[in-house]
Amino acid sequence: MSDAENLVAEIEALGAKMQEAEASISKRFIGQKGVINLVLSTLVCGGHGLLIGLPGLGKTRLVETLGTVMGLDEARIQFTPDLMPADILGSEVLETADDGSRAFKFIQGPVFCQLLMADEINRASPRTQSALLQAMQERSVTVAGQPHALPEPFHVLATQNPIEQEGTYPLPEAQLDRFLLQIDVNYPEREAERDIILATTGTEDAQSHNVFSTAELLAAQQLVRRMPVGEAVMELILDLVRACRPGEPEATEAVNASVGWGPGPRAAQALMLTTRARALLQGRLAPSAEDVVAMAKPVLSHRMALTFAARARGEELGAIIDDTAERVTRVDAAA
């Protein structure tokens, strides 16, 4: 087979494998297909995700299930105001050998895993938050001047509780950009909630099965970057990102009037990757304009901010992103 035919075969095989992973996760995390797809997209793109949702919606259950399905060693940290950087990164201890000699030994913290759930990350102090966010960016930690590489792959799924904001430390806007996607976890539909009750209050709990190995996930992350993206889709991504920046020639009237600051080039990079992952999950070989519109809100929501006046007027950032994506898509289609 030619290189192009080999690439098509690999993409089709990965798409089928991702659909199998989605079905396996859905056995334990019921009625949230959109959330599952976004989390799978985050992992297959090699990024980190920020889960926003109320307590009791199954976020912890989702991460545990992901560890099983994706073949990843997972850990969980419950963030609290008194948590210190050493509590998550690890620390050096003085160890005495049998011969009486002493030496410092590094004891790894819970961050040394492949899939980390950072529960209620906004409850930790800025110092602890920055330690984790630096590890997310650099994929290594430095303790006592010595670098320690984190396992591969390394992914963080952090949660934020949208209520009980008293005594919390909101993540700085510049550091939110470290997350590939913001994933909103909402209440399930009535029928899905009925299925949840039946599945979780009996004598046996549904079990998910392993689909990926570590090596297969790393290979998938490379394959996603080899997927073709059409010129029209690339131009749509550029037009959308630039249209969300106030003051730019491409910016819409609503963006100029209501948005304080817009997304940077990392948002365009995230759209290029995640649109490919979405196409994979739907069994397609390349992303389309529909994928760009669908991924606009998860990619852009945490990379933009409303002005104080817009917040006072009760405007919602999600509505502005949706409107901008619709306008840009319509203009590009007409062109």
**Residue 144 Ramachandran class (φ > 0 left, ψ -120 to 50 alpha, else beta):** left
Residue 161: predicted pLDDT:
73
The CATH number corresponding to 1-85+113-226 among 3.20.20.70, 3.40.50.300, 1.10.260.40, 1.25.40.10 equals: 3.40.50.300
290-324 pLDDT tens trace: 999 999 999 999 999 999 999 999 999 999 999 99
Contacts of 335 (CB under 8 A, 6+ apart): none
Phi first, then psi: what are they for 157, rounded to 5°?
Answer: -115, 105
Q: Select the more confidently predicted residue: 39 or 168.
A: 39
pLDDT for 143 beyond 90: no
Model confidence at 335, pLDDT cuts 50, 70, 90, reads low
Mean pLDDT across the stretch 252-271? 92
Average pLDDT over residues 240-246: 94
Amino acid at 95: E
Query: What pLDDT does 165 receive?
Result: 60
Burial class from Cβ neighbours inside 10 Å (0-12, 13-18, 19+) for residue 183 reads: buried
- Interval 64-82 mean pLDDT: 91
**pLDDT given for residue 103 in this prediction:** 81
The whole-number pLDDT of residue 115 equals 94
In degrees, rounded to 5, the angle at the alpha carbon of residue 71 between the alpha carbons of residues 4 and 63 is 110
Task: Evaluate whether 44 touches 170 at the Cβ level (below 8 Å).
Answer: no
Could you state, in order of their start, the residue ranges of all structural domains in the chain? 1-85+113-226, 228-335
For position 216, what pLDDT does the model report? Answer: 94
Whether the predicted pLDDT of 166 surpasses 70: no
Evaluate if residue 168 carries a pLDDT over 90.
Answer: no
pLDDT band with cut points at 50, 70 and 90 for residue 3? confident
Q: Which of 37-46, 57-66, 140-149, 219-228 has the lowest mean pLDDT?
A: 140-149
Alpha carbons within 13 angstroms on the beta-carbon side of residue 211 total 23
| pLDDT score for 54 | 82
Give me the chain's average pLDDT, please: 89
State percent of the chain over pLDDT 70.
97
Share of the chain above pLDDT 90, in %: 56
| Residue of higher predicted confidence among 206 and 183 | 183
Question: At residue 121, does pLDDT exceed 80?
Answer: yes
Beta-carbon count within 10 A of 320 CB: 21
CATH 1.10.490.10, applies to 228-335: no
Q: Is residue 163 over pLDDT 70?
A: no
223 band by pLDDT with thresholds 50, 70 and 90: very high
* Angstrom distance (rounded) from CA 239 to CA 286: 19
pLDDT(215) > 90: yes
Q: What is the pTM of this model?
A: 0.91
